[in-house]
Amino acid sequence: MPVEVHVVSQDEFDDWTASKRGAAAADAALAAQELSVDDLMARGADIYNASCLACHGAKGEGGLGNAIAGSAIAMGGVDSHLNVIVNGVAGTAMQAFGAQLSDVDVAAVTTYQRNAFGNNTGDVVQASDVVSYKEG
Ligand code: HEC
């Protein structure tokens, strides 16, 4: 197996390790961001209206997609709910949003669906929950 060796100065090496640390810290900061319920609901409503409403309806009544109001998935286990949003449902119009939405946005729209349209579960899903879910 060919091995590439880069000879760099100590300064270059220090810069490189610092930049790696910076990127990791930025990712961790984003995942650690805790939003208030109000912020999650407001952000979730925006995402729902832009990306989900067309199929799931303005009141969560459904249409091309299943109803979210009273949905056993939106009111059941959080992991099953995240599974549908992150991975989609193969062979249906429900696409995987895991790569399109940031972890904070997945958290917000999940919280929104669990508490809007009369689904008053009281559940709050944060970005850190989405990260844990994705890591399995
Ligand atoms: C192009 C249409 C479409 C869009 C856009 C869409 N969905 Fe779906 N969604 C579906 C369909 C169809 C199903 C039913 C899949 C099946 O047969 O299990 C579904 C199912 C679901 C379910 C499970 C509901 C249940 O009780 O079965 C959830 C939760 C869900 N979608 C969330 C979302 C979220 C969140 C968004 C926006 C980020 C979104 N969907 C955008 C079509 C869509």
pLDDT tens, residue by residue, 81-109: 999 999 999 999 999 999 999 999 999 99
In a domain, 15, yes or no: no
Whether 126 lines ligand 1, by a CB cut-off of 6 Å, is: no
Ligand 1 pocket check for 81: Cβ under 6 Å: yes
The residue among 59, 54, 34 whose CA lies nearest residue 112 is: 59
Q: What is the CA radius of gyration of the chain?
A: 19
Residue 65, pLDDT above cutoff 70:
yes
Q: Is 8 inside a domain boundary?
A: no
Question: What integer pLDDT is reported at residue 33 of this predicted model?
Answer: 76
CATH number at residue 110: 1.10.760.10
46 CA from centroid of ligand 1 (Å): 16
Q: What is the torsional sign of CA 90, 86, 102, 136?
A: negative
Element (DSSP H or E) covering residue 131: helix 127-135
Number of domains present in the structure of the chain: 1
Q: In the chain, what percentage of residues exceed pLDDT 70?
A: 92
**Banded pLDDT at 76 (limits 50, 70, 90):** very high
- Asked if residue 75 belongs to a domain, the reply is yes
Q: Give the distance (Å) from ligand 1 centre to CA of residue 84.
A: 7
CA 19 to ligand 1 centroid distance, Å: 39
Q: For residue 10, tell me if it sits in a domain.
A: no
Residue 39 inside a domain? The answer is yes
**pLDDT cut 90: percent of the chain above it:** 74
Contact call for residues 114 and 75 (beta carbons, < 8 A): yes
- Taking CA 40 as the corner, what is the angle to CA 39 and CA 46, rounded to the nearest 5 degrees? 90
Does residue 24 belong to any structural domain of this protein?
Answer: no
Tell me which residue range forms the domain holding 124: 35-135
Whether residue 19 lies inside any domain: the answer is: no
Is 7 part of any domain? no
For residue 72, which atom of ligand 1 is closest to its CA? 26
